[in-house]
Amino acid sequence: MKVALIQQSCQHHQADNEAAIQQAKAVGAELVVLSELHRHPYFCQTENAEYFELAQAIPGLYTQWLSSLAKKLQLVIVGSLFERRAAGIYHNTAVVLDSDGSLAGRYRKMHIPDDPGFYEKFYFTPGDALGKYMGFNPIQTSLGKLGILICWDQWFPEAARLMALAGAEILIYPTAIGWNPGDDYAEQQRQLDAWVTIQRSHAIANALPVISCNRYGFEPDSSHATQGIQFWGNSFITGSQGEIFTQADNEQAEILCSEIDLQATESTRRIWPYLRDRRIDAYTGLKARYLS
């Protein structure tokens, strides 16, 4: 299938999103992925209770808009929003709209960071391990099973592995990550290289293609407590052996498109049978926080 990701600055309006999705459709995309929390500037740079007003229920106005667009264009669309689940319970959530406009499913971010400039624990409750929208379960669509994970989730091999074990046919990471402008160039490059490498490793270890969609551009900290964030873009698409098919830079909006062969997973796993050779009898220690 042909997939597309939309890398953009998140200082835009809904009409910009719609135009980009239509452009992806025009070049043949069947699946379109948007970045994390792309409807707003990254408000988690500061702790401000007023930002809870940005949250929406699911279904709601945002999902209704995505649904109509998916149906009109006959696309599968992966979007991202600040979800209001109930009074006092909010999530960082990805939604998947199938090509008939139906809500195929949602994924609630499981790993929630809490670092200077990324105060997500103030806003987001982690996704549940059990229940209707539980943990690391792929979402069935007309194109296949999509393993959706969000930003900080992308650093954890356990999350990617559990998605693979549950039958995901592709790993998709909507993301909002960037540099501290105070870091020097060498440190910024180390961080970017680590980010690309860890996600390529998930592709390799699970023989699954990966779509990683990040925002780009500078966003100031409204509290002025930090120097803001320079989101580093560099969105990319890989194949099932981690080979990079296409990658954006860190300076502009881009729509990246690539053909992905889901059948490649079968042939790759015959050559690299990681799942066959896993020592599941010896991995009980993974349930511990630390073994010393």
Q: In this predicted model, what pLDDT tens digit does every residue of 33-62 receive, in sequence order?
A: 999 999 999 999 999 999 999 999 999 999
Secondary structure of residue 24 in the 3-state scheme: helix
Which among 22, 144, 13 is positioned nearest to 75, based on CA atoms? 22
pLDDT value at residue 222: 86
pLDDT value at residue 17: 84
| 10 catalytic residue (yes or no) | no
| 109 catalytic residue (yes or no) | yes
pLDDT value at residue 87: 96
| 121 catalytic residue (yes or no) | no
Catalytic choice (10, 30, 44, 109): 109
Which conformational region is residue 255 in: left (phi greater than 0), alpha (psi within -120 to 50 degrees), or beta? Answer: beta
Distance CA 64, CA 101 (A): 9
Range of the structural domain that residue 54 is part of: 2-287
- Is residue 164, in this structure, part of any structural domain at all? yes
- Is residue 77, in this structure, part of any structural domain at all? yes
199 close to 60: Cβ distance less than 8 angstroms: no
Question: Per the structure block, which two tokens stand in for 158?
Answer: 């356990």
Catalytic choice (30, 36, 83, 254): 36
Please give the tally of structural domains in the chain.
Answer: 1
- Is residue 128, in this structure, part of any structural domain at all? yes
Q: Which residues pair with 218 in a beta bridge?
A: 230
For 184-221, write each residue's pLDDT tens digit: 999 999 999 999 999 999 999 999 999 999 999 999 99
221 close to 41: Cβ distance less than 8 angstroms: no
* CATH code of 157's domain: 3.60.110.10
Strand 170-174 and strand 210-213: the pairing is parallel
Strands (E) in 163-284, as ranges, are: 170-174, 178-179, 210-213, 216-219, 229-232, 236-238, 244-247, 254-259
Catalytic choice (10, 25, 83, 151): 151
pLDDT above 80 for 133: no
Q: What percent of the chain has pLDDT over 90?
A: 89
101 close to 110: Cβ distance less than 8 angstroms: no
Question: Per the structure block, which two tokens stand in for 238?
Answer: 């890989």
- Is residue 88, in this structure, part of any structural domain at all? yes
Q: State how far the alpha carbon of 122 is from the alpha carbons of 44, 51, 93, 100, in Å.
A: 8, 11, 15, 36
81: which residues sit within 8 A by CB, 6+ positions away?
A: 37, 39, 55, 56, 58, 62, 63, 93, 95
State the pTM of this model: 0.96
- Is residue 165, in this structure, part of any structural domain at all? yes
- Is residue 118, in this structure, part of any structural domain at all? yes
Question: Per the structure block, which two tokens stand in for 111?
Answer: 């790993």
- Is residue 110, in this structure, part of any structural domain at all? yes
Tell me the backbone φ, ψ of residue 147, rounded to 5 degrees.
-95, 95
Within 10 angstroms of residue 55's Cβ, the number of other Cβ atoms is: 18
- Is residue 292, in this structure, part of any structural domain at all? no
